[in-house]
Every structure is written in structure tokens, then in C-alpha cells.
Amino acid sequence: MNHALIILGIGLVAGPLLGGLAGGLDRIVTARLQARTGPPVWQPYYDVIKLMAKELVVVNGWQAFCVYSYLFASMLALILFVMQSDLLLILFTQALGAVFLAMGALASTSPYSQVGAHRELLQILTYEPLLFLVGVGIFLETGSFKISVVMQWKDPLILKLPLLFAALGYVMIIKLRKSPFDLAASHHAHQELVRGVFTDFSGPLLGMIEIGHWYDTVLILGICSLFWATGPVPMAALAAAAYATIILIDNAAARLNWRWMLGHVWAMGLALALVNLICRHQG
Amino acid sequence: MRTSVIPFGPQHPVLPEPLQLKLTVEDEVITEAVPALGYVHRGLEALAQNRDFHQMVQVTERVCGICSVLHAICYCQGLEDIMGITVPPRARYLRVIWGELLRLHSHLLWMGLFADSFGFESLFMQLWKIRERVLDIQEATTGNRVISGTIRVGGVSRDMDARQVHWIADQLTWVAHQVRQIEPVLREDFTIRRRTEGKGVLTSAQARELGAVGPVLRASGIAQDIRQTGYAAYGELDFEPVTATAGDCHARCMVRLGEIDQSIDLIHQALDRLPGGDIRSEVRGRPQGETLMRVEQPRGEVVYYIRADGGKTLSRVRIRTPTFANIPVLVKLLPGIFLSDVPVVVLSIDPCVSCLER
């Protein structure tokens, strides 16, 4: 009982702690790549604290419900991951949270919010098949969807599933809202949709969404680290390397449109994943 | 199919100037774009009727901060034409140097904003970092970073010594080197080409019909540049208009990129050939008559109509700015494109609402 509670606590704390820290480091690295100094590493926490202190203003009750649901689903997905639960259950839980976020944006009549929500749904449609194939690939190698089994696997999965890992890269770019796929909402508001899916959220609700994004960040980096789950150090190193690569891509690419994203990610991502799976299956 | 109206402005982060485009959208495809102007109209033209014609130089400089020198040059050339004043050669060359420095920083500013419009933030930052050096040159030679305040009726108010001339040449060599490093990204990067090639295509026939000006016109293959008329010292310098043929957003970017090199070259030429002598002719009497003067701004041709009745003030100043000329082009280009391409196409004409709302 105590062990389960400790893991639950780790899951709850890991999201804000590691996610916020990753966000802070991202902002510093991005700033250096752009010949700027950047904010302090704790800036994401300052931002969220300030948002939490603001007055709660909601367009309608449904919007608030969707934000609470999104945050809860994101937290639950990470807790399940830390508890080394079923990968499929984790993937569906995080997908549920992502859909709630889009539904919250659709609850507003703002055209920026509406179009942003549609793009968010298209992004989900784009990466979910790839994420599912990642789960299938892990299952085919380890014989189980259980993360506890994957963690005991002796060989790094990336050596057997390199193309699937590359396909996961597309998912990470989309989930972390990085160029060229920061279509539904970019980190700053300099796009045609202003802040896209987040446009009509403000104050504490926006703060909760940011915390939810931290949980999502840690979860997706955690899934990435499963590809070298031979110990905590290689897991952390792989996640850090993948995150750094995505920051680099973000700073070296323009934002593309959703038609290109859907066509390219499905064509390239699915091809990479399927080729890898077929090769392993036949081997 | 669902139709919705999306307000693009007057307050929008992509275009931080008060221009509104009411975009009718069907499944993220623009079906109609209606511009709304006049949010910050300042009535600067009317000031001509109660300000001394010398004071109006400062007013015209403030029509737009980014084009300030060229507004002042156009206005002063108009008055010099009416009053029959011959500007000293050194002043004409100094006007070219400051005019081209302005074009340089304006194009770098635009390119940064253009990169930002398609989400390439690091490129935006790098371009603005280069622009800072150009502003440093302006500050060192005029005392101001943006609005120089050096143009006067009959010449200019500040001179440059030999040390400054060498320093400017060195600084511009650095700017040229930095731009050359970024050029391959703008020219060949896959994501940039994907976002700009084939977007907002304006044929040469459409450009003529709609009265396009500046880089928008030249990117459609029409080699028209008012500097070719030889005003200031341009008639004594070697240059050809930079053109492209594709007529799309990428072509407009390439024209401006070429004009950055051209401006640096023109400044080097002007510094090398800078004649000695006075920097300002004496202005006697009061203007009487009318004139139409044209100057090539970074955004295209600006036209000043000036009428004077022999008094201390002018009876009419009318300014046709390049952004005003390019608005019909924008309205033509927007229908049929995707919503995600709107910032790219809008930025491609380099709209300056400050000029527009004079």
C-alpha cells in the first residue's frame, strides 16, 4: 500500500517538476539558438503561478469541465506510466485528455478557438496511429504491453526498432507543439490563429492546461525512453537527446500546414513504422 | 460547407499594425477578404496648411518611422523643384547613403517579420540582430536610430568625416557577410519554400492592372524602380532593378534579398565617390507653384503632390504611399488561399499602416 502511494506521489510530482524544468531548459536553449539570453530556467513555474493568481473567467461551464478533464487525464496517464502499467491503457488515457482539450476550445464561439480545435483534432488524428504502432512494436519485441516487462528487457529496443523510433519523433514534435507541426497553437501567439486552441482560455484554466502539458511532455519523453530501457541513465540520456533534437528542429524549420502534416506524417511515419514491424516480424 | 468570418486585425499579433481584413472562410479556404482602414488616421496632410514649409520636413519624416528619410527626401525634392533650388552634390550623395541605409534596415525588418509569419522564429531573431548594426550606423551618422532628422530643404543638416566613411564601409562589410550566411536558408530551405512558393501569385499583367509598386511589382517581372529616374545622386551610380518572374511570396522575398545587396553596393559606391563641398544650399523666399515628386521607398513608389501659393505655409500636400497602392493587390491575392497562408501573403506586400494612415 505504501509502495503504491509512493509511486502515485512520484507520478503526481514528476509531471510539474520535470515537465516545467524541461520547458525552462527548452526556453533557454531556444533563446541561445536565436542569439538571445532567454528567461531563467524557473520561468515556466513563474508563469503558471501568475496565471493561477488571476481571476477565473470562463466562457461557459463546459469549457472549465473540459480543462479539469484534460488535466486529470494527463495526470492519470503519467501516473499509470510511473506505475509501469499497460501501455495501451496509457495511450488511450492521454488521447482522451487531448480530445477534452479540443472539446474545451470548441465550447467557445471564437473562430480562432474553433479553427484551433479542428487543427488539434487533426493533429490527434495524425499522431495517434503512429503512437498505436509504437505500442504494437514494443509488444512484438517484448511480448507484452506492460511497461514493467519492457523495463526488464535486456536489449535496447532502439536497436531493433530504429524506424519506429524515428516515427515516434513525428509524434513528439506534434505533441510538444514544435515547428513544423505547431499548427493548433504555437508557443508564442504569432500565427494566424493568435493562440489557436488556447485562445479563449485564461487565468487559472490556462495555468492548468500548462500543467497538463508538462504531464504530457514527461509522458511522451518517458515513452521515448522505453526504447533504451536498460537503466535509468540510458533512459534519461535517450529522452534528453530526443528532446534536444526536437528543439533543434523547432528552430530550423518554418511552420507547415495541416494538409502537409497529415499527408507527410502518415506517408513517412506509417511507412517507417510498418517497414520496421514487417522486417522484425519476418526476421 | 461551413462559412465563418475571421477578423484579421486591427489588433493581431502577426500584423501589429491597425489594419483589419475581414476574412470569409470556408473550411480554412478564404473566399472573400474585405479590408477596413482608417483606425489611426492622423491628418498629417492637413498640417501642411498651418505649419511652416520648413517644419513640414519633420512632419513628413513622421508619416512613417521606417520610411522616414525617404518621405523627407521626396518632400524636400518637391519644394526644391518648386523653388528652383540646386542641392549641393555632397548633400545628394549623403541623401543616397541615408536613403539606402533606411532601405537596408527596412528590408531586414521585413524579412524578420516575414520569417515570423511562417513560424521561423530563429530566422526572425537573426535577421533583426543584423538590422541592429544598420541602426547603429544610422545613430552614429545622424544621431537617431530610426527617424534621422537630417534632411532639409536645400540639402542635409549633418555631414560625415573621413573616419566615419571608413567605419560605415567596415560595418556594411560585416552586414553583407551576415546576410550572405543567411541567404541560403531564405533561398533554399525546404520548409520556407513550401510556405512561400506558389503562394499569392501575381502575374505581370495583374501587377500592371492593379497598380502594384515596389518589390511586389518587380517580383512579377516588371523592372520598374523610381531610382532609375536619377533623383538625388542615383543618376551617377551604377545599378539595375532587382527582378524575379515567379510573382509569388518567395519571389518577393528574393527581390528584397537582392535589394539588400544592391543597397550595400550603392552605399559603397556613394562613399567612394562622395564629393566635397557644401551640404546645404541657401533657401530664399517662399514657394509658389505645384509639383509631383516620386521616390522609391523600400515598399515601392511614394508620390508627393505639393502646391504652394507663395505663403509661409503650403496650400496642399497629398501623399500616395506604396502600401495604399498595394492594398488592391492584397485583396486580389487573398481569395482562394488557405487561412494558414494569410500571414505570409499579407506580409509579402510589406504593409505599412503608418504610411497608409498618414
Tens of pLDDT, residues B153-194:
999 999 998 999 999 999 999 999 999 999 999 999 999 999
Mean pLDDT across B55-71: 89
Residue A132, pLDDT score: 93
Cα→Cα distances B131→A9, B13, B104, B110, Å = 50, 21, 8, 10
Check A180 against B338: CB less than 8 A apart. Answer: no
Which of B4, B5, B343 is the closest to A192 by Cβ? B343
Phi first, then psi, for residue B343 (nearest 5°) are -60, -40
pLDDT > 90: what percent of chain A? 72
What is the tens place of the pLDDT at every residue in A162-218? 999 999 999 999 999 998 988 888 777 677 778 888 888 999 999 999 999 999 999
**Does the pLDDT value for residue B355 go beyond 60?**
yes
B203 — pLDDT class (breaks 50, 70, 90): very high
Contact A35 B12 (CB under 8 A): no
Position A100 scores a pLDDT of: 95
Residue A40: partners with Cβ closer than 8 Å, 6 or more residues away: A24, A46
Chain A residue with minimal CA distance to B14?
A190
Residue-wise pLDDT tens digits, B5-53: 888 878 888 777 788 889 898 888 999 889 888 888 888 888 888 888 8
* Cell numbers found for residue A275: 517497414
Q: In what order do the strands lie in the sheet with B316-320?
A: B288-297, B300-309, B316-320
For chain B, the domains span 40-332
Q: Which three cell numbers stand for residue B189?
A: 530551405
- Chain B positions touching chain A (beta carbons under 8 Å): 4-8, 12-14, 25, 28, 115-122, 124-126, 129, 189, 191-192, 194-195, 338-343
Phi, psi (deg, nearest 5) at residue B285? 75, -165
- Report the Cα A163 to chain-centroid distance in Å: 19
* pTM across the whole model: 0.89
B8–A33 C-beta distance less than 8 A: no
pLDDT in tens, A205-253: 999 999 999 999 999 999 999 999 999 999 999 999 999 999 999 999 9
Domain at B40-332: CATH code? 1.10.645.10
Identify whether the C-beta of residue B230 lies closer than 8 Å to the C-beta of residue B91: no
Per-residue model confidence (pLDDT) at position A1: 61
The partner residue sitting opposite B122, judged by closest CB among A33, A186, A189, is A33
Domain residues of chain A, as ranges? Answer: 2-282
Question: ipTM score here?
Answer: 0.84
Q: What is the pLDDT of residue B107?
A: 95
What grid cell was written down for A125? 488524428
For residue B308 the three cell numbers come to 504652394
* Distance in Å from the first CA to the final CA of chain A: 43
Which of B121, B127, B339 is the mutation pick for testing A, counting most A CBs within 10 A?
B121
Partner-chain residue, chosen from A34, A258, A260, that has the shortest CB–CB distance to B121:
A34
Q: Please name the member of B4, B5, B14 whose beta carbon is closest to the beta carbon of A192.
A: B14
Q: Are B92 and B73 in contact (CB under 8 A)?
A: no
According to the model, what pLDDT value does residue A189 have? 67
Res. B1: pLDDT tops 60: no
| Cβ–Cβ gap B118/A112 under 8 Å | no
Q: Which of chain B's residues have a Cβ under 8 Å away from the Cβ of A36?
A: 125
CA nearest neighbour of B308 among B157, B89, B153, B155: B153
Please judge whether B341 and A257 are an interchain contact, meaning their C-beta atoms are less than 8 angstroms apart. yes
Tell me if A192 and B118 make a contact (CB, 8 A cut-off): no
Residue of B nearest to A119 (CA): B28
Is A65's pLDDT higher than 80? Answer: yes
Q: Which residue has the higher pLDDT, A69 or A57?
A: A69
Render the burial of B246-265: b for 16+ CB within 10 Å, e for the rest: bbbbbbbbbbbbbbbebbbb
List of chain B residues whose C-beta atoms are within 8 Å of the C-beta of residue A111 = 4-7, 25
Chain A residues with CB within 8 Å of chain B CB: 30, 33-36, 111-112, 114-115, 179-180, 182-183, 186, 188-194, 251-260
